[in-house]
A and B are shown apart, each in its own frame.
Chain A
Amino acid sequence: MIYTYDGTFDGLLTCIHQHYYLEHASEIMEEIHYQPTLFEEVKFVETDLIKAKRVYDAIMKQFSEETYWDIYRTYLSNNRMKDTYILRYLIMAFKMGQKIELLHAHHDTLPVRRISRAVGFEKHRFLGLLRFAEIDHVLYAAFEPDHNILILLGEHFADRLANERFVIHDMKRVHAIFCDHWPWIISDFKMEQPITYSDNELAFQALWKGYFEAIAIESRQNLKLQQSFVPLKYRKHLTEFH
């Protein structure tokens, strides 16, 4: 049986619940990614907050927080198989108990560990690679990450920019973090008109670009190394590459 769900984390947890209390799942996937096959039955699972909460509580009770984060980060990834990987990981985890956390290379744990690490890595990257511009006293940053990491960035920037109003906009998934001092919220967001920068903003962008050029040592030039740290896909929104 293939379970599909609405794409929310609670929906995924509900599927896990159904796997144990209704019928075993062979795969789980987001509804929008499902393509009909001939041989397997499919069922859309309605998100049920109570069932989801029970699975969540079971995870938190039996394992350390790190396991929860491994699962959550995997859920945020763009890997099409992620939900099935989480299912297999949890089946194994509930069997093994806390010892699961010591396993790395097992075929049921490795995908989750790898994907979780990749998502965490991209998040860490964007703590540095996000670029804000001041527009009418609001700091605005646009980015297009591979994984759905927006929610992971909120805490860091809300603390860092506590006295500012800011927006972090994931243009791929058309949603954004809005923060006017503490707390912050995530909401759907689309930029209607193109941005125009003030002279003051442009002056600081020029200063940064000037600095960026000046700080490089010509006789050590190594563009390949630079590209491994800043892949071309991220450069679209980086001030210093324009």
Chain B
Amino acid sequence: MDTQIITKLQTLAESAKYDVSCASSGVDKSNKGGLGNSAACGICHAWSSDGRCISLLKTLMTNDCVYDCAYCINRSSNDIRRESFTAEEVATLTIEFYRRNYIEGLFLSSAIEKNPNYTMEKILKVVQLLRHQHKFFGYIHVKGIPGADPALIRQVGLLVDRMSVNIELPTRESLRLLAPQKNPEKLFDPMRQIKDGILQLKDDRMHFKHAPAFVPAGQSTQMIVGATDDSDKTILETTEKLYKAFDLKRVYFSAYVPVNEGSLLPSIQLAPPKLREHRLYQADFLLRFYKFSASELLGEGEHNFDLAYDPKINWAFKHIEQFPMEINRVSVEELLRIPGIGTTSARRIMRQRKVVTIQYDDLSKMGVVMKRAKYFLTCNGKFYGDKAMSVCGIKTALNPPSPYNQMSLFA
């Protein structure tokens, strides 16, 4: 190992770090005579100083890009250091990091070098090296490069666990504005192909038990939040469509970190909109695990989430007439609509209800967040929220205005 490879790794990791996905979940696989396995729950290995988990070795093949997308740190007009890995280098790093239990596998992405096919071929070569030569059974997540030959994508899909294509921006208009060289139609081609491949496999498995797996951990995508003036509603509706149309496992959001100057972009001084990103993730979980729909969370005339209250309690405020709900009687779907009750506590409540009546004191022991929940439920007919059921009263109780205000020097 020479010093050159350290610089390479650091440069290419720097270039890859704005990609959010780092999940190693979704596939249970044991070691078949080589190195590595993977657990369906996913395993995080480290947490960097921004608090994000490191599960996979996240790197680019190269950051030498032919495209000039306005928001991207690797755009061709940026004056940054350009580096490229060889396939052997990536494979060695992956294996050696994996043996030391630093990582759960590889997340390989790439800038578009020369053309999409050339780039996809380089990714394929790394994956083949790892799976065939090194007998690596750990997790591999790669980017599907839009515009690459379907045959190449198919070949890669047979070897990796997850493939993703980032759409980055929620509407055609934003894409045209900030990534004029990308063709929005082509963006969805690989996504469609991956989805069809997975469906095909399900069909094949009914006839042949050992039909080769195709992207067994499914596909994901990512959208940037705050680079354009797209509203939360647009983003959330696109998210919902993506889950339905492409059967995605995850849609990630990435609060835009201003890395470039540009007349079309937010100022480089601005901090990334982390709270907005957080609200979108909360809404995403409500879509996936709580059976909410996008139109319920942001209805007619609403464009963005309230930053002061989470989307679920906001929904409850809008439908205050449905509350309080009786904890010992309502269905699990209704339980999940109560602010402060999550999937785990709902399951515990449903189970314990089969044996004994639930008492008010049991709820916090089951993991219900009583601070919020007490205003929205009754237990054996009794209401415990000390305020009358008024939205205003609950709002102040949850978020009292601060008695002290920082004095301004110039006011």
Contacts and interface: CB of A to CB of B under 8 A. Distances in A.
A42 B44 CA distance: 45
Interface stretch (B8-16, B144-152, B197-205, B334-342): B8-16
A228 B44 CA distance: 14
Nearest to B350: A102
Contact of B100 (A110, A162, A208): A208
A194 interface: no
A50 interface: no
Q: How large is the interface on B (under 10, 10 to 19, 20 to 34, 35 or more residues)?
A: 35 or more
A99 B10 contact: no
A206 B1 CA distance: 10
B46 to A, nearest CB: 6
B37 A131 contact: no
B50 to A, nearest CB: 4
A230 interface: yes
A216 B50 contact: yes
A118 B17 CA distance: 32
Interface in B23-44: 30-31, 33-37, 39, 41, 43-44
B96 to A, nearest CB: 5
Given A99-B355, A110-B365, A220-B274, A210 B101 contact: no
B51 A225 contact: yes
Nearest to B362: A105
Contact of A139 (B6, B48, B100, B274): B100
B235 interface: no
Interface stretch (A6-14, A33-41, A83-91, A121-129): A121-129
A214 B12 CA distance: 9
B318 interface: no
B5 A207 contact: yes
Given A133-B100, A210-B10, A102 B351 contact: yes
Nearest to B364: A105
A222 B9 CA distance: 23
B104 interface: yes
A220 B256 CA distance: 11
Interface stretch (B52-60, B158-166, B369-377, B394-402): B52-60
Q: How large is the interface on A (under 10, 10 to 19, 20 to 34, 35 or more residues)?
A: 35 or more
Nearest to B2: A203
Interface string A91-103: 0000000010111
Nearest to A141: B101
A160 B36 contact: yes
A229 B51 contact: yes
Contacts of A110: 365
Nearest to A96: B355
B272 interface: yes
A163 interface: yes
Given A104-B366, A160-B31, A217-B50, A211 B17 contact: no
A159 B51 CA distance: 30
B323 interface: no
A218 B36 CA distance: 32
B271 interface: yes
Contact of A215 (B34, B58, B363): B58
Contacts of B49: 216, 221-223, 226
Interface in B54-104: 54-55, 57-58, 93, 96-97, 99-102, 104
Nearest to B349: A104
Nearest to A203: B1
Contacts of A134: 99-100
Nearest to B16: A215
B192 interface: no
B276 to A, nearest CB: 13
Contacts of A104: 348, 351-352, 362, 365-366
A73 B349 CA distance: 23
A105 B352 contact: yes
A214 B10 contact: yes
A44 interface: no
Contacts of A139: 99-100
Interface in B352-366: 352, 354-356, 358, 361-363, 365-366
B50 A222 contact: yes
A88 to B, nearest CB: 16
Given A128-B104, A204-B100, A229-B51, 20 more contacts: A102-B352, A103-B351, A105-B358, A105-B365, A110-B365, A132-B100, A134-B99, A159-B31, A161-B35, A163-B34, A164-B99, A207-B9, A211-B10, A212-B54, A215-B17, A218-B50, A223-B51, A226-B51, A228-B51, A230-B46
24 contacts: A102-B352, A105-B358, A105-B363, A128-B45, A129-B45, A130-B101, A131-B100, A132-B100, A159-B31, A161-B35, A162-B35, A203-B1, A206-B6, A207-B6, A208-B102, A215-B16, A216-B52, A217-B18, A219-B272, A220-B51, A223-B51, A226-B49, A229-B53, A230-B46
User: 3 tightest A-B contacts by CB?
Assistant: A225-B51, A105-B362, A216-B48
